[in-house]
Structure 1
Amino acid sequence: MTISDPQPFPFSDTDDLRIEPRFEQLREKEPLCPVRLPHGEPAWLVTRYEDVKTVLGDPRFSRAEAQHRDEPRTRYHRGLPGNIMEFDPPEHTRLRRVVAKAFTARRVEELRVRAQEIADRLVDEMTAQGPPADLVAGFALPLPVTVICELLGVPLEDRARFRHWSDAMLSTTRFTPAEIDRCVEELSAYMAGLVAERRERPQDDLLGVMVAARDEQDRLSEDELVAMGVGVLVAGHETTASQIPNFVYTLLEHPDQLACLRADPDLVPQAVEELMRFVPLGSASIARYALEDVQLSGGVVRAGEPVVASNASANRDATVFTCPEELDVTRQEASHVGFGHGPHHCLGAQLARMELQVALRTLLRRLPGLRLAGTGQDLVWKSGSGVKGLEKMLVTWDAA
């Protein structure tokens, strides 16, 4: 097989949380589909659960090879030189170990108390102001931003600046290429400045640990240090900030499931996993290149050919999940791939899980009857971004 007659991908440009309707057909009839993304060379798209796990986890598929190719991608910007997503093991493993201890289940549980304090303070401020309130600006964004700033050692007062830079890095069409390049340069310079400050005044935060790993142990280069800092800052808040309102919106669209959670808040951890499975955050993974011929469900991917994997489609695979199109907060089945799979499985998955659990528990407990405000302009969806989600979500709740 060769990549010929590629179809434009993503297949639709919806900004809401609807999943691509063609995925079900592709999983059944064309599990290896030729596609062309907005940038880069043509690629294969895989949509079945087992194929997605193979592409993301099998060492026969490489991320490092993308450095030498015009990799298929939805976004103009390819990431900073030296970023962890450019590497395969063992180089990837070397970089990941530098920060992995900050994101272990034990360390994340230690952060839960602080995350809860932040969540309660944000709800205090929302209730003091009274409804309607913007759940994104008032809660969903400042919660993970505050946590990652404190963990990494980034001044919280700079959040507006790095949010703008983050939006540019994740842009598909919202920013021009020149604007994206400028924002990436500014963010890189900002992080390099924080690194210089740590060298002058060492601190016991994650950035300080990373600087020490660079200067004292020679475990990463200067480019890798800056790229790692940028990656942790951006990825450390973006997923959670997007998924909190996404999850709330999805639960409001499924009132029976919301009622189930309100009746039994202990289901929240299970509900977070189900929502991660059910809610699509993006169109496809970053590309991997076959290092040798690999047999997948729909045929053979030849050595040197790129493949992109749809995690969202894999999470709706009926051969793995019972009634996959239904949201079921009591579901107990195979692991979803909402956080990826394999060596590049999301480094901050445990942190994101904890923050999402804290967010849902807090909203259920503190804002009874939480619902859309009913103003007619309650929802504003992100547009031109590689991440699906809400920019604005006006909500109200029952008086205490």
Structure 2
Amino acid sequence: MTEHALFGEGFAADPYPAYAWLRENAPVRREVLPSGVAAWLVTRYADARRALADPRLSKNPGRHRAADHASGRVGIPGERGANVMTHLLNIDPPDHTRLRRLVSTAFTPRGVAAFEPRVRALADRLADGFAGRGSADLIDEFAFPLPIYAICDMLGVPPEDQDDFRDWAGMMLHTSGKRGGVGRAVKRMRGYLGELIHRKRGALGDDLISGLIRASDHGEHLTEEEAAAMAFILLFAGFETTVNLIGNGMLALLRDPAQLARLRRASAEGEGSLLDSAVEELLRYDGPVELATWRFATEPLTLGGQRVAPGDPVLVVLAAADRDPERFADPDTLDLGRGDNPHLGFGHGIHYCLGAPLARIEGRAALETLLRRLPDVRLAADPRALRWRGGLIMRGLRSLPVEFTPEGDAPSPV
């Protein structure tokens, strides 16, 4: 691997050869990132799993060296220095323990499961917009709006305001390399959520924001700022990851006709177990989150034989760990029926993704809907010509053009 292979031209389209080289030759390696920040990259599965659960690696950006932290080069795009909101992605115990416990009382797996019929109905409504046409961009017309409208519905954002969220999310997605645009979108979204929470306090409903307001444990409640921060992070962390899960996953299927046909048969026959395992395998094979969010050493420690100094940033490369041949048989092969699949797509340890149940529901609903409504869907572009958004944490397609027989034109089965 040359010095520029890791973040050079073509890396976003296929980072896996570079990650394989690192995993084999330098599994924990200090690299200067495109932002200019130097960080340790962890690429082997065993090391990654340990790092994700290591309490000596803090999520608090304040643990980073002051010069880099003040420059705004770490954390969530659009948030800098003292303006960083307090949420589950950037705090440690005991604050993290308290907030997660409170939020979990509102964001329960049972409550998320009850939301599934609405996600399926939304997926069908979006497919209505292009299924009769014979072509579509599955990112712009399906993968992007599905999680935005779904999480807005779940949070309790009124229908008349949801297009504003789509616009703000679009600014965050399409200007990911331009801090000004992202910052404006974040500011507008945060301001709106604060106002919405204030309004809902006088008229609680059955939505997630009302649940966050009600959330209590041993007499403790979320503050208004904490509730706004939690609603924001659900939007921020939930929409782009699902866009990428659907886009990356559909591309992987379209490039593997045998696996696509296998899943199409199972879906048509109502074999839900393969749909479930397909979502897990797509998360492992080409997942939406390339690197776990920033961690910072709080004391000297050893990772993969390397000495990490206090304040050093550590980035766990989930995309590399989930293709580690020491853990996964034939890891570069897509196998929708893979049985032993403890992938790290949702993280590990106390920061395991709170939204994992919702992401699974959305991924399953998206696959089932597209296979049912577009039974002969096929890629309408050379895979090498597809353009990728290669942000440091997330990786996904800018567009995914497909063709198919329009609904109503397909021959009736004999």
Relative distance call for 1:14 and 1:227 in structure 2 (3 A) is farther
TM-score after normalising by structure 1:
0.87
Instruction: Name the structure 1 match of 2:134.
Output: 131
* Equivalent of residue 314 in structure 1, options 312, 321, 334: 321
* Equivalent of residue 252 in structure 1, options 244, 254, 265: 254
* Equivalent of residue 208 in structure 1, options 210, 222, 227: 210
* Equivalent of residue 154 in structure 2, options 151, 155, 161: 151
Relative distance call for 1:84 and 1:13 in structure 2 (3 A) is farther
Match for 1:155: what amino acid? Answer: P
Match for 2:336: what amino acid? Answer: V
| More off after superposition, 354-363 vs 66-75 | 66-75
Asked if 2 retains the 8 angstrom alpha-carbon contact of 1:62 and 1:289, the reply is: yes
Matches within 5 A, 1:80-91: 80-91=84-95
Asked if 2 retains the 8 angstrom alpha-carbon contact of 1:339 and 1:346, the reply is: yes
The offset of 1:264, in angstroms, is 2.3
Q: Deviations over 1:240-283 (max 9, x none)?
A: 12221221111111111112212323311111111100114344
Aligned to 2:228, what secondary structure does the other structure show?
helix
Q: Distance in 2 between the 1:23 and 1:196 partners? A: 46
Relative distance call for 1:191 and 1:362 in structure 2 (3 A) is same
* Equivalent of residue 362 in structure 1, options 346, 362, 369: 369
Matches within 5 A, 1:74-223: 76-78=77-79, 80-128=84-132, 130-169=133-172, 174-175=177-178, 177-213=179-215, 218-223=220-225
Relative distance call for 1:368 and 1:63 in structure 2 (3 A) is same
The offset of 1:94, in angstroms, is 1.5
Relative distance call for 1:355 and 1:276 in structure 2 (3 A) is same
Mark the runs of 5 or more structure 1 residues left unpaired by the alignment: 1-6
- Give me the identity figure in percent: 40
Aligned to 1:27, what secondary structure does the other structure show?
helix
Asked if 2 retains the 8 angstrom alpha-carbon contact of 1:17 and 1:279, the reply is: no
Instruction: Name the structure 2 match of 1:52.
Output: 48
Aligned to 1:85, what secondary structure does the other structure show?
coil
Relative distance call for 1:380 and 1:255 in structure 2 (3 A) is same
Q: Distance in 2 between the 1:90 and 1:9 partners? A: 40
Relative distance call for 1:382 and 1:23 in structure 2 (3 A) is closer
Relative distance call for 1:75 and 1:356 in structure 2 (3 A) is same
Q: Deviations over 1:136-173 (max 9, x none)?
A: 23322232222211110113443443344335556786
Match for 2:97: what amino acid? Answer: T
Asked if 2 retains the 8 angstrom alpha-carbon contact of 1:49 and 1:317, the reply is: yes
The offset of 1:363, in angstroms, is 1.5
* Equivalent of residue 241 in structure 2, options 239, 242, 266: 239
Matches within 5 A, 1:382-393: 382=389, 386-393=393-400
The offset of 1:211, in angstroms, is 2.6
The offset of 1:15, in angstroms, is 7.2
Instruction: Name the structure 2 match of 1:26.
Output: 22
Q: Distance in 2 between the 1:260 and 1:96 partners? A: 39
The offset of 1:9, in angstroms, is 9.6
Number of residues paired by the alignment?
Answer: 391
Aligned to 1:347, what secondary structure does the other structure show?
coil
Root-mean-square deviation (Å): 3.0
Q: Distance in 2 between the 1:268 and 1:203 partners? A: 33
| More off after superposition, 38-47 vs 143-152 | 38-47
Relative distance call for 1:328 and 1:17 in structure 2 (3 A) is farther
The offset of 1:105, in angstroms, is 3.2
Q: Deviations over 1:361-394 (max 9, x none)?
A: 1211221111124699995544668532233323
Q: Distance in 2 between the 1:299 and 1:382 partners? A: 31
Q: Does 1:335 align with 2:342?
A: yes
Q: Does 1:36 align with 2:32?
A: yes
Asked if 2 retains the 8 angstrom alpha-carbon contact of 1:133 and 1:394, the reply is: yes
Asked if 1 retains the 8 angstrom alpha-carbon contact of 2:45 and 2:322, the reply is: yes
